[in-house]
Structure 1
Protein backbone atom coordinates (compact mmCIF):
# COMPACT_ATOMS: atom_id res chain seq x y z
CA UNK A 1 0.00 0.00 0.00
CA UNK A 2 2.90 2.36 0.59
CA UNK A 3 3.85 2.37 -3.10
CA UNK A 4 0.28 3.26 -4.11
CA UNK A 5 0.21 6.12 -1.59
CA UNK A 6 3.48 7.46 -2.93
CA UNK A 7 2.22 7.24 -6.51
CA UNK A 8 -0.99 9.10 -5.65
CA UNK A 9 0.97 11.74 -3.73
CA UNK A 10 3.39 12.17 -6.61
CA UNK A 11 0.53 12.46 -9.11
CA UNK A 12 -1.26 15.04 -6.96
CA UNK A 13 1.97 17.02 -6.59
CA UNK A 14 2.54 17.04 -10.36
CA UNK A 15 -1.04 18.12 -11.03
CA UNK A 16 -0.85 20.89 -8.41
CA UNK A 17 2.47 22.14 -9.74
CA UNK A 18 1.13 22.14 -13.30
CA UNK A 19 -1.98 24.11 -12.34
CA UNK A 20 0.10 26.58 -10.31
CA UNK A 21 2.55 27.08 -13.19
CA UNK A 22 -0.23 27.51 -15.78
CA UNK A 23 -2.14 30.00 -13.60
CA UNK A 24 1.01 31.97 -12.76
CA UNK A 25 1.98 32.27 -16.41
CA UNK A 26 -1.59 33.16 -17.32
CA UNK A 27 -2.01 35.90 -14.70
CA UNK A 28 1.50 37.28 -14.17
CA UNK A 29 3.40 36.84 -17.45
CA UNK A 30 0.74 36.85 -20.18
CA UNK A 31 -0.40 40.49 -19.74
CA UNK A 32 3.12 41.62 -20.66
CA UNK A 33 3.20 39.58 -23.90
CA UNK A 34 1.94 41.13 -27.13
CA UNK A 35 -1.66 40.20 -27.88
CA UNK A 36 -0.81 38.85 -31.34
CA UNK A 37 1.81 36.43 -29.99
CA UNK A 38 1.10 32.73 -30.61
CA UNK A 39 1.24 31.90 -26.88
CA UNK A 40 -2.16 33.53 -26.31
CA UNK A 41 -3.97 30.69 -28.07
CA UNK A 42 -2.98 28.31 -25.23
CA UNK A 43 -4.66 30.38 -22.52
CA UNK A 44 -8.25 31.32 -21.76
CA UNK A 45 -9.32 34.99 -21.83
CA UNK A 46 -8.19 37.07 -18.84
CA UNK A 47 -11.75 37.36 -17.50
CA UNK A 48 -11.66 33.72 -16.51
CA UNK A 49 -8.54 34.28 -14.39
CA UNK A 50 -10.82 35.74 -11.72
CA UNK A 51 -14.05 33.85 -12.41
CA UNK A 52 -12.63 30.32 -12.16
CA UNK A 53 -11.02 30.72 -8.68
CA UNK A 54 -14.08 32.58 -7.36
CA UNK A 55 -16.40 29.85 -8.65
CA UNK A 56 -14.16 27.13 -7.21
CA UNK A 57 -14.12 28.91 -3.85
CA UNK A 58 -17.90 29.25 -3.76
CA UNK A 59 -18.34 25.57 -4.64
CA UNK A 60 -15.82 24.59 -1.96
CA UNK A 61 -17.60 26.69 0.67
CA UNK A 62 -20.96 25.20 -0.31
CA UNK A 63 -19.65 21.64 -0.09
CA UNK A 64 -18.01 22.40 3.25
CA UNK A 65 -21.26 23.87 4.58
CA UNK A 66 -23.24 20.84 3.46
CA UNK A 67 -20.71 18.52 5.08
CA UNK A 68 -20.82 20.42 8.37
CA UNK A 69 -24.62 20.40 8.24
CA UNK A 70 -24.72 16.62 7.77
CA UNK A 71 -22.26 16.11 10.63
CA UNK A 72 -24.34 18.33 12.90
CA UNK A 73 -27.55 16.45 11.99
CA UNK A 74 -25.87 13.08 12.59
CA UNK A 75 -24.53 14.15 15.97
CA UNK A 76 -27.98 15.43 16.97
CA UNK A 77 -29.57 12.07 16.06
CA UNK A 78 -26.99 10.15 18.12
CA UNK A 79 -27.75 12.25 21.24
CA UNK A 80 -31.50 11.73 20.97
Structure 2
Protein backbone atom coordinates (compact mmCIF):
# COMPACT_ATOMS: atom_id res chain seq x y z
CA UNK A 1 0.00 0.00 0.00
CA UNK A 2 2.87 2.36 0.74
CA UNK A 3 4.22 2.04 -2.82
CA UNK A 4 0.79 2.85 -4.25
CA UNK A 5 0.54 5.96 -2.06
CA UNK A 6 3.95 7.13 -3.26
CA UNK A 7 2.97 6.52 -6.88
CA UNK A 8 -0.27 8.48 -6.50
CA UNK A 9 1.58 11.30 -4.73
CA UNK A 10 4.20 11.42 -7.47
CA UNK A 11 1.51 11.41 -10.17
CA UNK A 12 -0.44 14.23 -8.51
CA UNK A 13 2.75 16.25 -8.05
CA UNK A 14 3.73 15.73 -11.69
CA UNK A 15 0.28 16.73 -12.95
CA UNK A 16 0.18 19.82 -10.72
CA UNK A 17 3.65 20.92 -11.79
CA UNK A 18 2.77 20.38 -15.45
CA UNK A 19 -0.40 22.45 -15.20
CA UNK A 20 1.41 25.20 -13.29
CA UNK A 21 4.22 25.32 -15.87
CA UNK A 22 1.79 25.35 -18.82
CA UNK A 23 -0.38 28.09 -17.29
CA UNK A 24 2.60 30.21 -16.26
CA UNK A 25 4.10 30.01 -19.74
CA UNK A 26 0.70 30.72 -21.30
CA UNK A 27 -0.08 33.79 -19.18
CA UNK A 28 3.32 35.35 -18.47
CA UNK A 29 5.67 34.47 -21.32
CA UNK A 30 3.41 33.94 -24.35
CA UNK A 31 2.21 37.56 -24.64
CA UNK A 32 5.81 38.61 -25.32
CA UNK A 33 6.24 36.11 -28.18
CA UNK A 34 5.35 37.20 -31.71
CA UNK A 35 1.83 36.15 -32.69
CA UNK A 36 3.05 34.41 -35.86
CA UNK A 37 5.43 32.14 -33.93
CA UNK A 38 4.65 28.40 -34.12
CA UNK A 39 4.39 28.07 -30.32
CA UNK A 40 0.99 29.84 -30.36
CA UNK A 41 -0.56 26.75 -31.97
CA UNK A 42 -0.17 24.84 -28.68
CA UNK A 43 -2.10 27.31 -26.53
CA UNK A 44 -5.68 28.49 -26.35
CA UNK A 45 -6.54 32.17 -26.90
CA UNK A 46 -5.68 34.51 -24.01
CA UNK A 47 -9.35 34.99 -23.03
CA UNK A 48 -9.45 31.43 -21.78
CA UNK A 49 -6.60 32.17 -19.37
CA UNK A 50 -9.16 34.00 -17.23
CA UNK A 51 -12.32 32.04 -18.07
CA UNK A 52 -10.98 28.58 -17.21
CA UNK A 53 -9.80 29.41 -13.63
CA UNK A 54 -12.99 31.42 -12.95
CA UNK A 55 -15.17 28.53 -14.13
CA UNK A 56 -13.13 26.01 -12.12
CA UNK A 57 -13.39 28.21 -9.03
CA UNK A 58 -17.15 28.54 -9.40
CA UNK A 59 -17.56 24.79 -9.80
CA UNK A 60 -15.38 24.24 -6.72
CA UNK A 61 -17.43 26.72 -4.67
CA UNK A 62 -20.69 25.09 -5.77
CA UNK A 63 -19.48 21.63 -4.79
CA UNK A 64 -18.18 22.98 -1.50
CA UNK A 65 -21.53 24.59 -0.68
CA UNK A 66 -23.41 21.43 -1.62
CA UNK A 67 -21.07 19.33 0.55
CA UNK A 68 -21.42 21.66 3.55
CA UNK A 69 -25.21 21.67 3.15
CA UNK A 70 -25.29 17.89 2.94
CA UNK A 71 -23.16 17.51 6.08
CA UNK A 72 -25.31 20.01 7.96
CA UNK A 73 -28.52 18.20 6.98
CA UNK A 74 -27.03 14.83 7.89
CA UNK A 75 -25.87 16.04 11.31
CA UNK A 76 -29.26 17.61 11.95
CA UNK A 77 -30.99 14.25 11.32
CA UNK A 78 -28.67 12.50 13.80
CA UNK A 79 -29.55 14.96 16.60
CA UNK A 80 -33.31 14.55 16.08
TM tier, smaller: over 0.9
**1:38 aligned partner:** 38
CA deviation string 1:12-48 (max 9, x = no partner): 0000000000000000000000000000000000000
TM-score by length of 2: 1.00
TM-score by length of 1: 1.00
Q: Distance in 2 between matches of 1:9 and 1:42?
A: 28
**1:56 aligned partner:** 56
The equivalences for 1:9-20 within 5 A come to: 9-20=9-20
Q: Distance in 2 between matches of 1:66 and 1:5?
A: 29
RMSD in angstroms over aligned alpha carbons? 0.2
Moved over 3 A (4+): none
How many pairs align?
A: 80
Q: Distance in 1 between matches of 2:17 and 2:74?
A: 37
